[in-house]
């Protein structure tokens, strides 16, 4: 390693140690003079140079008008210093949720803003790896959001968030580096598959769409909701003048299906996870209980949005091969 790289690594290590002591990690942080930094922007430095030149010219040529102009510009420069710091001071920033998304799609980091004053424009950005995508931050009245994507599935610990403002004239930049202990979760892409790679909860073997419904005992009629499969609509009742209803089926075992990677041994491991992701989302849309069996994790059968979230999190956290 070259001397330059060693010095850069040492400087980065010292900075991380200092910033951890100065601004400890927390899910909720109040901005104040202990964790805010402020310096003139490039435009602010040019403004200050102009002020110094005007004051020198006015003093050298005994021109009161030029000196007055320099003092006015200096007053504006100092006023912007105070207003820029006050715009961010006192704000309470809180992580709303850990960002989650499908691999290749944008996850959204959302930070709630609480304040007893009007908040003027604030920016947000992350120092992400080069192969990640990132969009410009959005600032609503009580929320900051930033969308980004990762190249691979997995669970990632996000770096410190940089919150900044250049209000009112861009002469100063006030910022802070905050650690919300945020984790981003990217689960696999969905790979459609005709065959469901699942066992019954009591071990009934692999099933296929061609062999009939995955859960073939009729359990009743329920109100149709947009997005439900049309093949499950009770068309006879609808033709008789009744409201559109959906036929529900349940497993004979009553315990649902266990999606397993073992039934996809002919595929690469990442492709297996993509198929399992597809079937987890599909079974959830069909309101059918399911579980998940992976190389390093096992999720018992369940149903609903909570079960789907647990399944997607398990797929995202499965070690890569």
259 - beta bridge partners? 198, 292
Residue 209 CA to residue 198 CA, distance in Å, equals: 12
Cα first-last separation, the chain: 29
Among the residue ranges 132-146, 241-255, 276-290, the one predicted with the least confidence is 241-255
Q: Is pLDDT of 203 > 50?
A: no
Lowest mean pLDDT among 47-61, 74-88, 178-192, 233-247: 233-247
Sign of CA dihedral 263, 266, 269, 271: negative
Burial status of residue 188 (CB atoms within 10 A of its CB: 0-12, 13-18, 19 or more):
buried
- pLDDT for position 115: 87
Whose tokens are 């691979």? That residue is 152
- Of 290, 295, 288, whose CA–CA distance to 310 is shortest? 290
Q: Given this model, what pLDDT does residue 255 score?
A: 63
Q: With 50 as the cut, is the pLDDT of residue 212 above it?
A: no
Q: What is the mean pLDDT of the chain?
A: 85
Angle, helices 64-88/42-60, rounded to nearest 10 degrees? 160
Confidence at residue 313, expressed as pLDDT on a 0 to 100 scale: 94
Cα–Cα distance between 115 and 92 in angstroms, integer? 6
| Residue owning tokens 């600032």 | 139
The whole-angstrom separation of Cα 156 and Cα 154 is 6
pLDDT at 235 exceeding the cut of 80: no
Give pLDDT tens digits for 9-23: 888 889 889 999 999
User: In the sheet where 198-200 sits, what is the strand order?
Assistant: 198-200, 257-260, 290-293, 298-302
Q: Is residue 210 over pLDDT 90?
A: no
Category of 212 on φ-ψ map: left (φ > 0), alpha (ψ -120 to 50) or beta: left
pLDDT band at 213 (very low <50, low <70, confident <90, very high): very low
In the chain, where are the structural domains located? 23-187, 195-215+251-317
pLDDT computed for residue 179 by the predictor: 93
What's the pLDDT at 238? 73
**pLDDT attached to residue 229:** 65
Is 206's pLDDT higher than 60?
Answer: no
Report the pLDDT value the prediction gives residue 204, as an integer from 0 to 100.
43
Q: What is the pLDDT of residue 117?
A: 84
Q: Give whichever of 45-49, 181-185, 228-232 has the largest mean pLDDT.
A: 45-49
Q: What is the pLDDT of residue 245?
A: 79
- pTM score of the predicted model: 0.74
With a CB cutoff of 8 Å and minimum separation 6, the contacts of 321 are 269, 270
According to DSSP, the residues that pair with 302 across neighbouring strands are 290
Residue 228 pLDDT: 64
CB contact burial 232-251 (16+ within 10 A = b; e otherwise): bebeeeeeeeeeebbbbbbb
């Amino acid at each position: 390693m070259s001397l330059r790289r060693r010095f850069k690594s040492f400087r980065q290590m010292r900075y991380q140690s200092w910033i951890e002591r100065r601004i400890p990690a927390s899910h909720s942080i109040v901005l104040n003079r202990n964790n805010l930094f402020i310096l003139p922007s490039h435009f602010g430095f040019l403004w200050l140079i102009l002020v110094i030149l005007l004051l020198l010219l006015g003093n050298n040529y005994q021109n009161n008008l030029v000196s007055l102009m320099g003092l006015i510009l200096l007053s504006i420069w100092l006023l912007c210093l105070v207003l820029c710091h006050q715009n961010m001071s006192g704000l309470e920033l809180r992580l709303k949720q850990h960002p989650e998304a499908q691999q290749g799609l944008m996850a959204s980091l959302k930070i709630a803003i609480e304040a007893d004053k009007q908040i003027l424009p604030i920016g947000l950005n992350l120092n992400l790896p080069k192969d990640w995508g990132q969009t410009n931050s959005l600032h609503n009245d009580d929320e900051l959001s930033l969308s980004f994507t990762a190249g691979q599935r997995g669970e990632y610990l996000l770096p410190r968030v940089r919150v900044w403002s250049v209000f009112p004239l861009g002469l100063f930049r006030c910022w802070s580096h905050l650690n919300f202990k945020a984790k981003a979760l990217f689960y696999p892409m969905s790979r459609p598959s005709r065959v469901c790679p699942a066992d019954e909860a009591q071990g009934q073997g692999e099933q296929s769409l061609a062999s009939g419904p995955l859960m073939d005992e009729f359990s009743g009629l329920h109100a149709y909701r947009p997005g439900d499969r049309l093949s499950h609509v009770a068309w006879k009742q609808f033709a008789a003048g009744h409201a559109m209803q959906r036929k529900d089926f349940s497993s004979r075992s009553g315990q649902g299906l266990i999606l397993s990677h073992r039934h996809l041994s002919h595929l690469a491991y990442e492709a297996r996870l993509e198929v399992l992701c597809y079937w987890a989302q599909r079974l959830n849309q069909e309101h059918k209980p399911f579980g998940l069996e992976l190389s390093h994790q096992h999720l018992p059968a369940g149903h609903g949005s909570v079960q789907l979230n647990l399944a997607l999190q398990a797929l995202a956290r499965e070690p890569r091969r």
